[in-house]
Amino acid sequence: MPDLATGAVVFVTGGASGIGRAAAQQFSVEGASHVVVADVDISGAEHTAASLAGPGSSIELDVTDDAAVAAAIDGLVAEHGRLDIAFNNAGVNDVPRAFHDLDAASWDRMIRVNLSSVFVCMKHELRHMAAAGSGSIVNTSSGAGVVAAPGLPHYTAAKHGVVGLTKAAAQEYARQGIRVNAVLPGSTDTTMLQSFIAGDEGMAKIIASSNIHGRLIEPDEIASAVVWLASPHAGMVNGQSLIVDGGGLVR
């Protein structure tokens, strides 16, 4: 199979670690001409950029800041001439709690980081892609984008929202040469997940057995799906939610 990202200019958010780092690395291996790694954790983003097989760079970026995102993407296009692929992956998690115990601040933070940021990034990505008449966007949702995550109503709402945004953009921009899809990971062995289950052996066992393979998913396994979704090999895949959960939802 030819390189899946040959010559592409790629923008990855949440690229300092986990799925974002793995995707940035795979895009580079698959022939990207340049990968821009964005994260609030600039040290992690720099580490990812330094690990790439080909050209790349890093930027410190708060994806909830509309003006900052606009400047970052405008700057990318000014420097590299275009934006071919965007992977909107930045996000946060939270501790489970009863619905009636969820405070407004936690709700607002979750929606802002996990949903509004995707809208902000897509808005500016689509502006440039529409002008160019081509582009591919992949958004990170979650298994919680199709079923409820127990104790996490705000996370569930945000990730369902990402699926809706993905469909809306795909429908609107398909005839302008742009595809928009979502990847829905199951429990993946990332720093965010490890901090979520730290010290709770019972929770760790439950999460590790949450799919039919009986183990956590590796970030590279999600990244492979992302790179394929973004590539020309998925040219008629549009507006779709690709569940990569080790069969967790087939039960």
**Catalytic (active-site) positions:** 155
CB-facing half-sphere around the CA of 139: CA atoms within 13 A: 37
CA distance linking residue 143 with residue 245, whole number of Å = 7
| Burial class of 11 by CB neighbour count within 10 A (0 to 12, 13 to 18, 19+) | buried
Token pair for 152: 């996490």
Pairing mode, strands 178-185 and 241-244: parallel
Strand partners, 59: 38
- Chain position carrying tokens 């670690």: 17
Query: Which amino acid belongs to residue 229?
Result: L
At 57, which helix (H) or strand (E)?
strand 56-60
